[in-house]
Chains A and B, each alone.
Chain A
Amino acid sequence: MKINFVLNGKEIELVAPPDRRVIDLLREDLGMTGTKESCGAGECGICTVLIDGAAKLSCLMFAAQLEGRNVITLEGLTSEEGLHPIQEAFIQFGAVQCGFCTPGMILSALDLLKHNPNPSRKEIREGLSGNLCRCTGYQKIIDAVEAAACKMKKEPLL
């Protein structure tokens, strides 16, 4: 079936089986391996993408559901101007170890900060509670999101 949607700011049209998992469509059909898979059952958050701005699990979505939607993956965050403040903060604050949870974590953080530009550390933990990390113990991720929130308040992005 033909599916039309916006991916990282660009309109695209694809042909795909309607029941193809969105994670497979991204990784295999489009070669965009920035979105990762770890459990395939909604239990880890690694496959998180933004659908119309909301963090959702691409392993539990069918391709047909993308029709007309605005999809953002990690690859869409970097622009000509450089890295997004959340990406910068992840680097500066040591929030990246193995990095496999990083794409989903960053996108969940983006959704969180859109809804709550001034979160407490507890609220950041809640916002990221659906994204498992096995390397960091989460603390530096919380530090990074806290710092990014600060920066984003001073320099609001579009």
Chain B
Amino acid sequence: MKRVFLPQNLGQLCRIMEEEPRAMVYAGGTDLLVKVHQNLIDPPSLICLDRIEDLKEVHEQGDEVMIGACSTHTSLFENPTIQSNFPVLVKALKVLGSPPIRNMGTIGGNICTASPAADTLPPLYVLEAEVEIWSQNASRRMALRQFISGPGKTCLKAGEIISGIWIKKVPEYNLHHFEKVGQRKALAIAVVSLAAILKVSNSGIIEKARLAWGSVGPMVVTSTQVEEALIGQSLSLETLQKAQPLVDEAVNPIDDIRASTWYRRAVAENLLLRLFETKYD
């Protein structure tokens, strides 16, 4: 029998983590509990963060937005602050898992599981998000891109949790795009995904660009070469086609049960072309 703790606040969490050094932490359970039931992991105890209301807030602070790590995907999807500031994230949340999974799963959980195919990660990468790492003694921020150190690996140490995600608002970007390719339209792990935010001028010139691909490498893939190839050019099919070989250089996909290396490369390149038909303000 495993012990299951439900701390009501960060103070209680602290105490329990001290008393139960081998406990594993979860919020929604949509990743961790599957592994427990499949006997892939066997922690003696578990800590559920679901009752810590402090970890669920979303608020604006200056030119940043702070997202509580235990915010469920559904709550973020429905949140007006997230909707108005980060459409790229909302588009990803819309196709993550399924409705019950979105009701249970949290953004902090998605980050800490750090799957190369995670749906919130490409948007968070293009938004240059930072995570807030909390422990009893200290709180620090770190760029998400540094926080995730490998497939399924993060810089989280014992006694630490992610408490929040900080994102600087990006009002100058007027094109927010996300596409996920899976084996079906719901309940699907991404085979390739692309998140992109662009600033496109009135005359159709790309002034700024940030792109990130999911599921085509051990971690989310970004490429300054691709971005630089787009900046200063018109948002046209020709521009995008010219940048495709640079995508090929940037990605490093594997063969697995869902898709081959060849397919992932081909689609990672092709998804770039979809930017041509994406509406922007």
Contacts and interface: CB of A to CB of B under 8 A. Distances in A.
Given A65-B50, A129-B186, A19 B4 contact: yes
Interface residues of B, number: 27
A40 interface: yes
A148 interface: no
A110 B170 CA distance: 36
A130 B101 contact: yes
Contacts, number: 85
Contacts of B71: none
Q: Secondary structure at chain A's binding surface: helix, strand, loop or mixed?
A: mixed
Interface in B206-241: none
B279 interface: no
A41 B34 contact: yes
A18 interface: yes
Q: What is the size category of the interface that chain A forms with chain B?
A: 20 to 34
Contacts of B52: none
Interface string A116-135: 00000000001111111000
Interface string B95-123: 00111110110000000000000000000
Given A56-B103, A130-B100, A61 B29 contact: yes
B2 A18 contact: yes
Contact of A55 (B6, B33, B100, B185): B100
A112 B4 CA distance: 30
A67 interface: yes
Contacts of B14: none
B100 A19 contact: no
A67 B6 contact: yes
B30 interface: yes
B1 A45 contact: no
Interface in B1-50: 1-6, 29-30, 33-34, 37-38, 46, 48, 50
B4 A40 contact: no
A54 interface: yes
Interface string A24-64: 00000000000000001111010010000011110111111
A19 B43 CA distance: 12
Contact of A129 (B5, B46, B48, B187): B187
Contacts of A54: 74, 103
A108 interface: yes
29 contacts: A17-B1, A18-B2, A18-B3, A18-B4, A21-B37, A42-B30, A42-B100, A42-B101, A43-B187, A54-B103, A55-B99, A56-B103, A56-B104, A57-B30, A57-B100, A59-B37, A60-B30, A60-B34, A60-B37, A61-B33, A62-B4, A64-B4, A64-B6, A65-B50, A108-B99, A111-B103, A128-B99, A129-B186, A130-B100
Interface of A: 17-19, 21, 40-43, 45, 48, 54-57, 59-65, 67, 108, 111-112, 115, 126-132
Interface of B: 1-6, 29-30, 33-34, 37-38, 46, 48, 50, 74, 78, 97-101, 103-104, 185-187
